[in-house]
């Protein structure tokens, strides 16, 4: 089975990638002993995904490891906020990864505004020869003020999916993977592998 390096140690992301990309063996950053922080300085999802992928590809090359790299950048985009929080979704309220604070800030920022939103995911497949391909996936819904379901991951519990009629926090991983932004991008990437 082909091995590919996922430029992430995020356990939710690793789980999703493993569930959808069943045609490859996924190695994580821990598996390749990469422990540095990668600074995401891009202004759009594709730039951040490329920064992660190219950084890991160079690291692998320096270690004489011949693996393709897959990296993504994703976030929640709200129409009424000109696409915010967007690439800043994980640190919208300031501190990276404080999901509760991020949700509270978003709900507050959307008071009296249109709640239409979508999750966007851009995935880069970065090859050993430094060429790359990328795919994008989106899933639409609206932001609600009540947290429903599992509150442990990002904006899932306040994102009411148009496709499912429930929040992502209320559904199983199988249900989410059938319509999520990451799943839609990954299904396209899967065809390239």
DSSP, residue by residue, 33-76: T--SPPP---SSHHHHHHHHHHHHHHHHHHTT---EEEEEEEEE
Q: What are phi and psi of 158, to 5 degrees?
A: -115, 5
Residue 132 CB neighbours (<10 A):
19
Overall CATH class of domain 3-190: alpha beta
- The Cα 100–Cα 35 span in angstroms is 26
Catalytic residues: 73
pLDDT value of position 19: 86
Q: Give the residue-averaged pLDDT of 82-93.
A: 95
* Predicted confidence band of residue 173 (pLDDT cuts 50, 70, 90): confident
pLDDT value of position 182: 92
Closest by CA position to 14, among listed 117, 153, 130: 153
Per-residue DSSP letters for 106-168?
HHHHTTTS--EEEEEEEEEEE-TTS-EEEEEEEEEEEE-SS--S--SSTTGGGEEETTTSSBG
Over 90: is that where the pLDDT of 97 sits?
no
* Predicted confidence band of residue 13 (pLDDT cuts 50, 70, 90): confident
Residue 105, both tokens: 């800030």
pLDDT value of position 110: 97
DSSP secondary structure code for residue 96 in this structure: T
- The Cα 193–Cα 185 span in angstroms is 13
pLDDT value of position 9: 85
| pLDDT tens string 36-74 | 999 999 999 999 999 999 999 999 999 999 999 999 999
| pLDDT tens string 107-164 | 999 999 999 999 999 999 999 999 999 999 999 999 999 999 999 889 999 999 999 9
């Amino acid at each position: 089975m082909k091995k590919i390096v996922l430029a992430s140690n995020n356990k939710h992301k690793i789980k999703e990638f493993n569930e959808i990309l069943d045609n490859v063996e996924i190695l994580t950053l821990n598996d390749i002993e990469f422990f540095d922080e990668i600074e995401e300085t891009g202004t759009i999802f594709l730039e951040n995904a490329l920064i992660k992928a190219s950084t890991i590809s160079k690291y692998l090359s320096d270690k004489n490891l011949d693996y393709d790299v897959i990296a993504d950048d994703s976030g929640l985009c709200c129409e009424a906020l000109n696409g915010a929080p967007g690439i800043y979704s994980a640190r919208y309220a300031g501190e990276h990864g404080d999901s509760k604070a991020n949700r509270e800030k978003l709900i507050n920022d959307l008071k009296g505004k249109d709640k239409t939103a979508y999750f966007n995911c851009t995935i880069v497949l970065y090859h050993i020869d430094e060429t790359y391909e990328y795919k994008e996936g989106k899933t639409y819904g609206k932001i609600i003020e009540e947290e429903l379901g599992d509150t442990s991951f990002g904006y899932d519990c306040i994102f009411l999916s148009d496709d499912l009629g429930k929040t992502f926090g209320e559904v199983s991983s199988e249900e989410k993977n059938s319509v999520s932004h990451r799943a839609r991008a990954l299904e396209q990437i899967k065809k390239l592998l």
